[in-house]
Structure 1
Amino acid sequence: MSLLHRATFLTSSARLDQLPPPGAPEVCFVGRSNAGKSSAINVLTQQRRLAFASKTPGRTRLINMFSLPDKLDPDQDIGYLVDLPGYGYASVARDDRNTWADVLGGYLRTRPSLVGVVLLIDIRRGVTDLDRRMIDFLVPAGRPVLALLTKADKFPYGQRIKAQFAVRKELEAIASLHTIPFSSTDRIGLEETGEYIENWISPAVAL
């Protein structure tokens, strides 16, 4: 059984000071609204509604944390998955957008237990201006980044490779970067992504 399949909901927080104290390694998921973030978390954990996908972009304003319990000691968490609010919500008030940007940026820059960032990019859109603003947070933070090119099933294989190359070029400012074409519906890149995240949390974990 994969470590990620043991994920359970832990808590939701509107502010950084409401998060549990830093401890076990955390891997966060961030991306533009409707990039497929919730779907990716659900398929990686093999749970249909662990992460809630709102039908209204920008509706989810909370940081949602999911615990990954130890196989031998279920009361002990060996890591966490963190679902950050999506960005790119044009219909939301500017003050709210700025507040969420502060929360996102603050978490990415200052959370000491954060070991890796999963950045979701819609393969059909490529790197957008909003993604570039997120990259401005990521580069100074120095966190390793796994860019998932979601909805890869919409492209034939050759086009996926071209899109992957283009994203790598756009994100070359990120020192530690890995890219994977990904599809929740067709399970493209699922195994590679799961292994990458598990290795961030615990390279020696017994699955």
Structure 2
Amino acid sequence: MSILHRASFFTSAARLDQLPHPGAPEVCFVGRSNAGKSTAINVLANQKRLAFSSKTPGRTRLINMFALPDPLDPEGQLGFLVDLPGYGYASVAHRAREEWADILGGYLQSRESLAGIVLLIDIRRGVTELDRRLANWIAPTKRPVLALLTKADKFPYGQRIKAVFAVKKELADIGALNAIPFSATARIGIEEASLQIENWISPKVVP
């Protein structure tokens, strides 16, 4: 069983100073509002309602952390999955968008326990201006990034491969970047994404 399947809700925070002290490795999920972050977390954790998405995209303002328990230590954690607020939804007031940007940028650039970043990009849209802004926060940190090209079931195989090459070219300034087609509905890319995240959390679990 994947260690991700053991994920359970740990805490929520509205500000960076409300997060627990950095410790076990964290893998965060980030992307524009309505990019499918909650869906991706749920399918990777093999749970239906671990992560919740707001009925109104762009309204989820909290950083939500999900713990991955250490099987050898009942009170310890192997690591955390972190669902960051979606960014850039048009109907949200400008001031609120900028506040979220400060939270996102601060977490991505300064969180000491951040081991890897999962960037969700709609395969049909490619790299948008908002994705580029996220990439600009990420690139200087040199942290590894896994780009999940969501809604991959909407494209035939050949078009998916072209989309992967296009994203890698667009985001070439992110040094350690992997990009894969992903679909929760058609279960595309789930195993590959799970292995990458597991390796960030605990390299020992990957042969």
TM-score range, shorter chain: over 0.9
How far apart are the structure 2 equivalents of 1:120 and 1:194? 14
What amino acid maps onto 2:149 in structure 1?
A: L
Aligned length: 207
Cα shift readout 1:58-105 (whole Å, capped 9, x = no counterpart): 110000000000123232101000000001211111111111000000
How far apart are the structure 2 equivalents of 1:156 and 1:119? 22
How far apart are the structure 2 equivalents of 1:187 and 1:20? 33
Q: Percent identity?
A: 73
> Which consecutive residues of structure 1, in runs of 5 or more, have no partner in the other structure?
none
How far apart are the structure 2 equivalents of 1:206 and 1:194? 10
Given the alignment of the two structures, is residue 82 of structure 1 paired with residue 119 of structure 2, yes or no?
no
Partner of 1:92: 92
- Give the RMSD, CA atoms, in angstroms: 1.1
What amino acid maps onto 2:93 in structure 1?
A: A
Cα shift readout 1:119-160 (whole Å, capped 9, x = no counterpart): 000000000001111111011121110000001000000110
Given the alignment of the two structures, is residue 175 of structure 1 paired with residue 175 of structure 2, yes or no?
yes
**Within 5 A, what are the aligned runs for 1:110-149?**
110-149=110-149
Partner of 1:185: 185
Partner of 1:151: 151
TM-score under structure 2 length normalisation:
0.98
1:55 deviation in Å?
2.0
How far apart are the structure 2 equivalents of 1:3 and 1:33? 27
Partner of 1:44: 44
- Equivalent residue of 1:27, what SS? strand
How far apart are the structure 1 equivalents of 2:160 and 2:8? 32
Moved over 4 A (4+): none
What amino acid maps onto 1:17 in structure 2?
A: D
> Which consecutive residues of structure 2, in runs of 5 or more, have no partner in the other structure?
none
